[in-house]
Amino acid sequence: MDFTILPEQDALREEIIRFARTHLNHEESFTVFSKEMWRSTAEFGLFGLCVPAEYGGLCESYLTAALTMEALGYACHNNGFIFAVTNHMWVGLNLILLYGSAEQKARYLPEMIEGKRIGAMAISEADAGSDANAMLTTAVQDGEEYVINGSKIFISNGTNADVLIVFANCADNGRKQVAALIIDKENDGVHVGANIKKMGLDSCPMAEISFTGCRISKRNLLATVEAGDSIMKSALEWERCYEFASHVGTMQRIMEMCLKHVQERKQFGKPLSEYQAITHKISDMKVSIEMARRMMYDIAWRKDLKKNAYLEASIFKLYTSEAYIKTCRDAMQIFGAYGYTKEYGLEREMRDALACSIYSGTNEIQRNTIYTLAALGL
């Protein structure tokens, strides 16, 4: 495995850092979704990062994408907006790219790359969060159509999404299976609830979405019914890698804030950098960043080789989420009362970070997955 960063990859990373610092840190957009920032991001070309040129994409590697997501987290302070972007790219657009028919790709990918249509994935239900197999939403075949009934909750990009990747129970040939379906928001029978108020990530809207007699063409089925469960597992794998890649960059940014602070702030006549109780917290941050970054590179390398990375993605998600939360907590301690104020932004970073131990599968579920696969010798 050679993870040497090529000059062109480094140039793209620097380019996204400049772009994000210039266009994605508007103070007024930390609490609401910014359509202006979304348009700028689309024009920059980020949404089509790994998509073939025939659909308007840049055809970059998945390793390059990981570097880019890390750079985005480093330079953009708006974690909610990043969350909206990664949901659109990795569990919306990317699933159509990987599993869609030629007709589906031609119909959806260009407009999603251009930012004209926003993507989202709908798995979670009120009584089926970590236990996705308990979902009650159904897709019943009726001639050349599927009729969808049920309700999904905590859907990121929910109020904004135009294209939904919905997972539903589908009885096919007498067997209960999970189907992955592309549903347009404008379809009759799609009902989008109000924005759910959250502790953090305010600029990524979240909503409940329900389906009442929603009819869609069989052409909107992703791959086959038999492939639905595999697609769902694949979606979680991609999500756990590329949503958390940005957190590696965010941890780097927070660590650099702390380094600057401990060199400038004095207590008892000495800079904080002379107190090991403080500097060891920053050492821990550095260790976490380097370990997470190497895991991220390994997963991206596997994806470029079309290898499975389900175990690796679970480990990465678990490790990175807990390191990210600890980094924010330690940064607040290093900054003391200043860290608790709105001015420095660390209290917002802390609130945003806390959710990452829940989304993409709770950390308890990741530990279950890791144990199960380890017990099988994988």
Query: Residue for token digits 């941050």?
Result: 285
CB 208 within 8 A of CB 155: yes
Residue 269 has what pLDDT? 92
Task: Tell me: pLDDT of 173 over 70.
Answer: no
Residue 73: closest CA among 24, 5, 136: 24
Residue 172 has what pLDDT? 64
Residue 2 has what pLDDT? 77
Residue 1 has what pLDDT? 75
pLDDT 10s digits, 59-114: 999 999 999 999 999 999 999 999 999 999 999 999 999 999 999 999 999 999 99
Spatial separation of the C-alpha atoms in residues 179 and 221, rounded to whole Å: 7
Q: Is residue 47 very low, low, confident or very high in pLDDT (cuts 50, 70, 90)? A: very high
CB 46 within 8 A of CB 58: no
Task: Tell me: pLDDT of 301 over 80.
Answer: yes
What value does the mean pLDDT take over residues 134-150? 95
- Alpha helices (runs of H) in the chain, residue ranges in sequence order: 7-23, 35-44, 62-75, 79-88, 94-99, 102-113, 228-264, 276-304, 310-335, 337-340, 346-354, 363-375
CB 236 within 8 A of CB 58: no
Q: Is residue 130 very low, low, confident or very high in pLDDT (cuts 50, 70, 90)? A: confident
Task: Tell me: pLDDT of 234 over 80.
Answer: yes
Task: Tell me: pLDDT of 272 over 90.
Answer: yes
pLDDT 10s digits, 22-37: 999 999 999 999 999 9
Q: Which of the residues 60, 125, 237, 239 is marked catalytic?
A: 239
Spatial separation of the C-alpha atoms in residues 206 and 129, rounded to whole Å: 15
pLDDT 10s digits, 304-363: 999 999 999 999 999 999 999 999 999 999 999 999 999 999 999 999 999 999 999 999
Q: Is 239 a catalytic residue?
A: yes
Length of the chain: 378
Q: Is residue 131 very low, low, confident or very high in pLDDT (cuts 50, 70, 90)? A: confident
Residue 129 has what pLDDT? 81
Residue 240 has what pLDDT? 95
3-class state of residue 306 by DSSP:
coil
Q: Is residue 134 very low, low, confident or very high in pLDDT (cuts 50, 70, 90)? A: confident
Enumerate domains of the chain plus CATH numbers: 7-118 (1.10.540.10), 120-225 (2.40.110.10), 229-375 (1.20.140.10)
**Which tokens is 139 given?**
């897709």
Residue 308 has what pLDDT? 93
Residue 4 has what pLDDT? 84
Spatial separation of the C-alpha atoms in residues 198 and 103, rounded to whole Å: 37
What value does the mean pLDDT take over residues 253-272? 96
